[in-house]
Amino acid sequence: MKTIRGLIIVILLVIFLSSCAPAAPVVETEPPAITLPEPTPTFTPEPEPVLWWKDIVFYEIFVRSFFDGDGDGIGDFQGIIQKLDYLNDGDPNTQDDLGIGGIWLMPINPSPSYHGYDVTDYYDVNPEYGTMDEFKQLLEEAHKRDIKVIIDLVLNHTSTAHPWFQASQDPESEYHDWYVWSEENPQTPGPWSQNAWHRNAANGMYYYGIFWGGMPDLNYDNPDVSAEMMNVSKFWLEEVGVDGFRVDAARYLFADGFVQQDTKETIQWFEDWRSFYKDVNRDTFTVGEVWTNLQVTAKYGQGMDSLFMFDLAEDIKNSTYYPDPSRIIQSYLTALEYFPEEDFSTFLSNHDQQRVMSLYEGNVDKAKTGAFVYLTGPGVPFIYYGEEIGMFGNKPDENLRTLMQWSGETNAGFTPGTPWQPADSSYQEVNVAAQEGEDTSLLNHYRSLVNLRNQHPVLRVGAYLPFTSSCRLIYPVLRIDDEEALILIANLDRRVQEGCTISIEESPLVGDYEIEVIFGEGEFASISFEENGAILDFQIPVDLDPWECFILKVRR
């Protein structure tokens, strides 16, 4: 017990002495550093590419025949510059230009042929058209007016005058394998049963060229060829500044035995090419010539941004020549099945086909209905130069590519010199100057339609919903998006259509709407849709004159 008591006393004594001791000096120290976590970087997703081509109408130009800017009788870059305001003056508030947003130039590379599809240099321009600096000036002037420019890219073949082919004639040359050579004539026909093998006088060998002997096919089984054409693409996009390409003869790059078109290797090449050019410029646009049935054309949909609808073009032309609206509607619906995003390109005719006015045998009313159908329909429209004034042209090809008819003056106002070929005999009556001031002219019909398409996005990317009609010769369609609804009506026949009704089983429209006529002349009051958007036997309140067309705005 004493031991415990003594221990307690000692503890208390220690506590007492500690409390009496002087305080230890306070040492100021920095507060401990606080390590903050690194800020998480804000993720900014890369914006989607601008699909500018869905919002414009293109115009195809054969440079040699469009306008001569220097008086030597050959169309050129300076000539196009002088006529840009005819296409688009850059002011969206004016209606006296054509409203064009894009130009497709047929081949501009050096070539020994008038057409340019046998290229001798992929890195330069045809000196007959001007210099590279003048071409860049054209790009600059076009871009000032918000006009994009795409050029023909001839991937499948070159000219026999190309230095690559000239070198390849030597079996020891590094370029020999850039083309397809054979010591003996294989005698295998080309894709459409034509002679595809041509004897070369320099070496006695045979080379493969499906179009003709002056255009030997490149050998894409050689990776050096593929790499070079990638470089060509990059050059025009990056160093020159074009906005894209129209791809010529896309179907034939690779042959697989007797299969010489649409091979899996060809389709894969374009998919690889698309990845390449999108890396160079993600806003690049390409449109492909895959001239075959739609089922095959659709296979190229991952390799190019758009593809020309050849079947649809024939259906529109033939069904406005001999009235058959149901054929047009079905053709559009079929195209939309394969391309539901409406990323296909439409046209009436091009540099390889009979001009549409020749098909119509000079009937301006039929030309107007054809224009109405494709310029108000889904897809990206292309106008072939001179189509908007009704130029004529039948084969051979030179007659499809005659001088643009600017006026009734000598040489159709194309040149003060001697033109590279004569103007079509129709130029004194069929020309721009004669139609400028005529409200009902074909030219002003095109201007009105293109400018309406530019003003109304629904005509560019809206849904395409056909009506049925009690009058089988009228073309009735609803174009609709989240912002607007337009009804298209066209009488495709030479006879008046009386008492016509239209019906639709369902649509996004519900209730009562007023109708505003934005194209055509007539009185339309109102229209009512049922709860499911249906309308049954709506009576069109006017008789439809021969070839009469309407665009009706449906609004609350």
How far is 200 from 160, CA to CA, in rounded Å? 10
The one catalytic residue in 248, 305, 388, 493 is 248
C-beta neighbour count of 260 within 10 angstroms: 21
C-beta neighbour count of 455 within 10 angstroms: 12
Amino acid at 60: E
Tell me how far the alpha carbon of residue 479 is from its chain's centroid: 21
**Catalytic: 283?**
no
How far is 483 from 480, CA to CA, in rounded Å? 8
How far is 156 from 118, CA to CA, in rounded Å? 10
**Catalytic: 289?**
yes
Nearest to 159 by CA among 124, 209, 201, 206: 209
How far is 375 from 466, CA to CA, in rounded Å? 16
The one catalytic residue in 289, 305, 365, 548 is 289
- What is the three-state SS of 413-453? HCCCCCCCCCCCCCCCCCCHHHHHCCCCCHHHHHHHHHHHH
Are 402 and 394 contacting, i.e. CB atoms less than 8 angstroms apart?
no
How far is 526 from 541, CA to CA, in rounded Å? 10
Phi and psi (nearest 5°) for 229?
A: -70, -25
C-beta neighbour count of 334 within 10 angstroms: 16
Show the tokens assigned to 346. Answer: 């439409």
Residue 56 makes CB contacts below 8 A (sequence gap 6+) with 100, 101, 102, 148, 380, 454
Show the tokens assigned to 143. Answer: 């871009």
Query: At CB < 8 A and 24+ separation, what contacts does 395-401 make?
Result: 395/354, 397/115, 397/351, 397/352, 398/114, 399/424, 400/351, 400/352, 400/353, 400/354, 400/355, 401/62, 401/64, 401/65, 401/115, 401/351
Are 556 and 514 contacting, i.e. CB atoms less than 8 angstroms apart?
yes
How far is 52 from 380, CA to CA, in rounded Å? 10
Nearest to 268 by CA among 254, 281, 279, 282: 254
HSE at residue 206, side-chain half, CA atoms within 13 A, is 13
Q: What angle do CA 513, 517, 519 make, to 5 degrees?
A: 145
C-beta neighbour count of 396 within 10 angstroms: 8
How far is 275 from 273, CA to CA, in rounded Å? 5
How far is 75 from 87, CA to CA, in rounded Å? 16
- Residues designated catalytic: 248, 289
